[in-house]
A and B are shown apart, each in its own frame.
Chain A
Amino acid sequence: MESSSNGTFHLRRTRRKRIGMILAGVLFLATILGIVVLVTLLVDVAMQSRAWLDMQFLNSLPSRFADQAGIKPALYGSLWLMGLTALISVPLGVASAVYLEEYARDGWFLQLIQINIANLAGVPSVVYGILGLALFVRFAALGQSLLAGALTLSLLILPIIIISTQEALRSLPTGLRESAYALGATRWQVIWSHVLPNAAPGIFTGVILALSRAIGETAPLILIGALTFVPFLPQSAMDQFTALPIQIFNWTARPQDEFRGLAAAAIVVLMILLFAMNLSAILLRDYFERQTAGE
């Protein structure tokens, strides 16, 4: 490209090199911009929350008065939600993935289901909220209960669990299944004794990531009507509830500064919860990998 008409080359090496270095620098800056924003966000939230984050905050019920307000019901609500969502979505998602990977024959139907799952993963969460409102809150008459919320969040994270489980199943060596089949095992014996135990690390990681998505979701919960004043702890799956993201939204939306501080404190709690979940995902994966490698 650098040849001129009389057929000599002008390599312009220094210039090309300099452009290359500038470009690499720009790319690097763009890449760490994301990290910088993340750090800024975390530091900002931490600073804002300092005055509010204490045991009283963790132990109190929500209140009209900022200095008495706490997140106990929201924390309990989030933990309840997470537990129920896990109970519903994990068996359903893992079972779906097992069916799609181990049973379904290649064909248009399988293709259709796969495309459908990929698309579901891209449906906005607020649309899941609309579905939950119509299907669970009203049609199934579950009201604005924890169960309705958990069912809605389950449908929301189901595609994530299915896709990550499928990846975990696909990454197993085919020899594992073949050797079990060759011993006269049935499909289910192969799956239960070999496929699932060996895919467990990948499945666990995917499940925890999906649940950490669920625990941060706000819009679907607002849609099903969770944005109410709940000054009590949930006692059963049929109780009304509030959750951390709801509380954060509620406080952030208020104009007073002190409520912003409360929001920041609640964000810190939520982020710690998310961080703990991610850490446990990593630890679990390590544990399983050591197990498989032999004791």
Chain B
Amino acid sequence: MSTESPPTSTAPESAAAEDRATARPADDLTQQVYDSPKELAIKYALGACALVSVFTTLGIAAVLVIESIPFFQEVALTEFFGSAEWTPQFSEKHFGIWALLSGTILVTVISAVVALPIGLASAIYISEYAADGVRRVLKPGLELLAGVPTVVYGYFALTFVTPLLQAVVPGLGVYNALSAGIVVGIMIVPMVASLSEDALQAVPDSLSGAAYALGATKFETVLRVNVPAAFSGIMASFILAVSRAIGETMIVTLAAGASPKMTLDPTQSIQTMTAFIVQVSKGDTPQGTIVYQSIFAVGLVLFLITLAMNIFATRITQRYQEKY
């Protein structure tokens, strides 16, 4: 077949084919195709796009720092970090971040109390117990829950959860940390569940197999082998979810109120850092005033806290990914 293989139909090509069959006239291997101008242009254009994300981070940091400078020229750091009074609207203004920070912490703690156990339980159930059919319903269900816009959760907190709680908790105001905290908790359940489930799935079957072989029951194996083995991954999911709760804005703006104060009472109306930022920017606060500048300072604190938690969680995740 080899002899008649190039069908000599069209003259110039078959001549070329003949030529190639014996020995191609030395091809120029140094013709730059791989690094041709077009290829390089594409490469650098794509690389420039990848740099946008770097510049986003730098942009956030730069904006927050630069715009905070005028604020900190007027408000001493000692007052900002040392005081628990936040009264930007009063004639005698105080800017003590602890009033807002404590509101954020209160809501976050309530949400964690709701979300961490439920999220972890869901993760354990989906990864270790649920039959395939059940899993196929539960996972998209949780994904849907994660896809609900936060403003919708805010509506739900204010118009459904708060009246419900008022029936149980006497004297609960319209705006309170409890309702907001519970709904923020519901919002982050899917996050805890899906990240913890990933961690549980990463535990090798051989480990639980060994426990079964020793006569352990299912729940003993799950609680004493799988969950401890996935511990760091589960911790990472907790941290990420809590960081998300700290940054949550619409639920707390709608349901938690606008009264910055340092309190541990969940029935009180409070204000979080995020809600304060929204309150200022939705009002008619003129640019250049100290109140307007304060949102950048609060934003900076918020950014640093969530950044630190995210980095910490990434570290933990990397460690457990190396383990298996």
Binding site for B on A (CB under 8 A): 11, 16-17, 19-20, 23-24, 26-28, 30-35, 37-38, 40-41, 44-45, 48, 91-92, 95-96, 98-100, 103-104, 113, 115-120, 122-131, 133-135, 155, 158-159, 162, 186-188, 209, 212-213, 215-219, 222-223, 225, 227, 245, 248-249, 252-253, 260, 263-264, 267, 270-271, 274, 278
Q: Do A117 and B53 form a contact, CB below 8 Å, given A27-B129, A30-B122, A135-B59?
A: yes
Q: Which chain B residues (248-281) contact chain A, with CB distance < 8 Å? A: 248-250, 253-254, 274, 277-278, 281
Most A CB atoms within 10 A — which of B34, B147, B149, B153?
B149
Partner of B142, one of A20, A34, A118, A188: A34
What are 17 A-B pairs at a CB distance below 8 A?
Answer: A16-B219, A23-B223, A27-B122, A30-B125, A34-B141, A34-B142, A92-B49, A103-B43, A119-B310, A122-B310, A130-B295, A218-B149, A222-B278, A222-B282, A223-B278, A225-B281, A248-B155
**Taking the nearest CB of chain B, how far is it from the CB of A240, in angstroms?**
15
Closest residue on chain B to residue A225 by CB atoms: B281
Partner of B254, one of A120, A127, A213, A249: A249
Cα A126 to Cα B190 with chains together (Å): 21
Q: Do A124 and B57 form a contact, CB below 8 Å, given A30-B117, A96-B52?
A: no
Partner of A116, one of B54, B64, B159, B295: B54
Residue B13 lies at the interface, judged by CB distance under 8 Å to chain A? no
Residue B84 lies at the interface, judged by CB distance under 8 Å to chain A? no
**In the complex, are the beta carbons of A124 and B49 less than 8 A apart?**
no
Q: List the A side residues contacting B277 at CB < 8 Å.
A: 126, 129-130, 223
**In the complex, are the beta carbons of A134 and B63 less than 8 A apart?**
yes
**In the complex, are the beta carbons of B141 and A96 less than 8 A apart?**
no
Instruction: Of the listed stretches B4-12, B89-97, B238-246, name the one at the interface; the rest are far from the partner chain.
Output: B238-246
Cα A16 to Cα B193 with chains together (Å): 26
**In the complex, are the beta carbons of A34 and B118 less than 8 A apart?**
yes
Cα A209 to Cα B223 with chains together (Å): 34
**In the complex, are the beta carbons of A278 and B118 less than 8 A apart?**
no
Partner of A123, one of B60, B160, B217, B218: B60
Binding site for A on B (CB under 8 A): 33-34, 36, 38-39, 42-43, 45-47, 49-50, 52-54, 56-57, 59-60, 63-64, 67, 117-118, 121-122, 124-126, 129-130, 138, 141-142, 144-145, 147-156, 158-160, 186, 189-190, 193, 215, 217-220, 223, 240, 243-244, 246-250, 253-254, 274, 277-278, 281-282, 295-296, 299, 302-303, 306-307, 309-311, 314
**In the complex, are the beta carbons of A30 and B118 less than 8 A apart?**
yes
Q: Do A45 and B155 form a contact, CB below 8 Å, given A27-B124, A119-B310, A120-B56?
A: yes
Cα A34 to Cα B189 with chains together (Å): 7
Partner of B138, one of A24, A31, A133: A31
Most B CB atoms within 10 A — which of A103, A134, A274, A278?
A134
Cα A123 to Cα B300 with chains together (Å): 11
Q: List the A side residues contacting B149 at CB < 8 Å.
A: 215-218, 245, 270, 274
**Taking the nearest CB of chain B, how far is it from the CB of A87, in angstroms?**
14
**In the complex, are the beta carbons of B306 and A35 less than 8 A apart?**
no
Closest residue on chain B to residue A22 by CB atoms: B219
**In the complex, are the beta carbons of A116 and B57 less than 8 A apart?**
yes
Q: List the A side residues contacting B190 at CB < 8 Å.
A: 34
Q: List the A side residues contacting B215 at CB < 8 Å.
A: 11
Q: Do A222 and B281 form a contact, CB below 8 Å, given A31-B125, A116-B53?
A: yes
Cα A129 to Cα B274 with chains together (Å): 11
Q: List the A side residues contacting B306 at CB < 8 Å.
A: 122-124, 127
**In the complex, are the beta carbons of B281 and A129 less than 8 A apart?**
yes
Q: List the A side residues contacting B125 at CB < 8 Å.
A: 24, 27-28, 30-31
Q: List the A side residues contacting B309 at CB < 8 Å.
A: 122
**In the complex, are the beta carbons of B49 and A126 less than 8 A apart?**
no
**In the complex, are the beta carbons of A130 and B63 less than 8 A apart?**
yes
**In the complex, are the beta carbons of A38 and B314 less than 8 A apart?**
no
Partner of B45, one of A23, A95, A122, A249: A95
Q: List the A side residues contacting B254 at CB < 8 Å.
A: 249, 252-253
Closest residue on chain A to residue B63 by CB atoms: A134
**Taking the nearest CB of chain B, how far is it from the CB of A53, in angstroms?**
15
Most A CB atoms within 10 A — which of B148, B189, B309?
B148
Cα A188 to Cα B189 with chains together (Å): 42
Partner of A124, one of B130, B159, B193, B274: B274
Closest residue on chain A to residue B144 by CB atoms: A38
Cα A45 to Cα B151 with chains together (Å): 13
Q: Do A216 and B53 form a contact, CB below 8 Å, given A124-B246, A126-B274, A188-B42?
A: no
Closest residue on chain A to residue B309 by CB atoms: A122
Partner of A186, one of B39, B63, B303: B39
